[in-house]
Amino acid sequence: MRILITGGAGYIGSHAVKLFLARGHEVWVYDNLSQGHRAAVPADRLIVADLAEAQRLDHALVTHRVEAVVHYAAFALVGESVKNPAKYYQNNLVNTLNLMDALRRHDVKRFVFSSTCATYGVPEKVPITEDEKQRPINPYGNTKLAVEHALADYAAAYGWGYAALRYFNAAGAAPDGQIGEDHDPESHLIPIVLQAILGLRPEVEGFGSDYPTPDGTCVRDYIHVDDLAEAHLLALEKLQPGTQLKLNLGTGRGYSVRDVIDTAEAVTGKLAPVKEGRRCWWPLPKEGKRNWAGNRAIPICVRSSRRPGTGTTAIRKATTIEGRS
């Protein structure tokens, strides 16, 4: 299939690019490199452009005769979205509508969308299933839900087939160490813990220890990026005109901050300097029913986040753990 991957030079997108190419698909990456990395994708597959540029989108879709789009490009810092919602509505909603307009112009009707468990807000029950009410509690979640609504309307009116994949926390890196997580600032726990162990930051800070969980630290569901990539491909292969797939992507198993720190210490054989701080952003599910599960557990996510030979993660610097999803 000829697939355009927006945000493909970013963390999750670059792992999808690698998998899709390995499976024989024709892939082009559309990324403005605002967060992504040129080196994360093959140079001959990269189109450096912004979703706001309608002509560049038209050119990419026509030149490469694109049949389907996987849309990762977005801003994804919850705290920043609260401080600067305009930035999030502009990029996550307006620019996505711009992309969808371009797809209409060129009759591309298959669309896989990176949505998020943040669209559920504070759930009434855990585990969070797809029938949970979507009531986001921050602008980031609102922008993602707004796109989900637009996709449902486009599917009904224009015969699109789409999948809205609502991820929990992406984790891990490619087993060959070629690509991994490289956000600046970093907001995800596993790379932050590994950075602290390596002395690249003073300590792990800011997760809270007064949650109603067995060890008092926040429990989250982590899914390996390679499992996310597999799920996107499976979803894409299912899409027919009118298909509407709305799926949560997680393992259905929660791990606490303490579990992650313990695992990182066991994997590296070193202690992580930890400072208790403010709470992280939202609760996550316990055990229970799920429709799809990733295969890779947290030790694999932690191990694969180390770079072979160096034991370092693919991360630069950050301040505190902030809700990012």
Closest among 45, 121, 109, 32 to 73, alpha carbons compared: 32
Residue nearest to ligand NAD (CB): 10
- Pairing state between β 254-256 and 219-224: antiparallel
- Residue closer to ligand NAD, measured from CB, 182 or 259: 182
Closest among 292, 310, 49 to 199, alpha carbons compared: 310
Per-residue DSSP letters for 162-194? EEEEEE-EEE---TTSSS----SS---HHHHHH
Write down the least CB distance from residue 35 to ligand NAD, Å: 4
Q: What b/e readout covers 169-203, taking b as 16+ CB neighbours within 10 angstroms?
A: bbbbbbeebebbbbbeebbbbbbbbbbbbbebbee
Dist CA 61 CA 64 (whole Å): 6
Dist CA 132 CA 39 (whole Å): 39
Decide: 60 and 28 in contact? Cβ < 8 Å: yes
Dist CA 59 CA 32 (whole Å): 15
Write down the least CB distance from residue 33 to ligand NAD, Å: 5
Dist CA 107 CA 99 (whole Å): 12
- Residue closer to ligand NAD, measured from CB, 112 or 261: 112
Q: Which of 11, 88, 140, 167 is catalytic?
A: 140
Other Cβ atoms less than 10 A from the Cβ of 90: the count is 14
Write down the least CB distance from residue 231 to ligand NAD, Å: 12
Write down the least CB distance from residue 25 to ligand NAD, Å: 19
- Residue closer to ligand NAD, measured from CB, 147 or 204: 147
Query: Is 88 an annotated catalytic residue?
Result: no
Write down the least CB distance from residue 312 to ligand NAD, Å: 18
- Residue closer to ligand NAD, measured from CB, 49 or 200: 49
- Residue closer to ligand NAD, measured from CB, 98 or 270: 98
Write down the least CB distance from residue 112 to ligand NAD, Å: 11
Per-residue DSSP letters for 133-155? ----SSHHHHHHHHHHHHHHHHH
Instruction: Give me the residues that bind ligand NAD (CB under 6 A), please.
Output: 6-7, 9-13, 31-36, 50-51, 72-74, 76, 91, 95, 114, 116, 167, 169-170, 183, 325
- Residue closer to ligand NAD, measured from CB, 245 or 273: 245
Active-site positions?
140
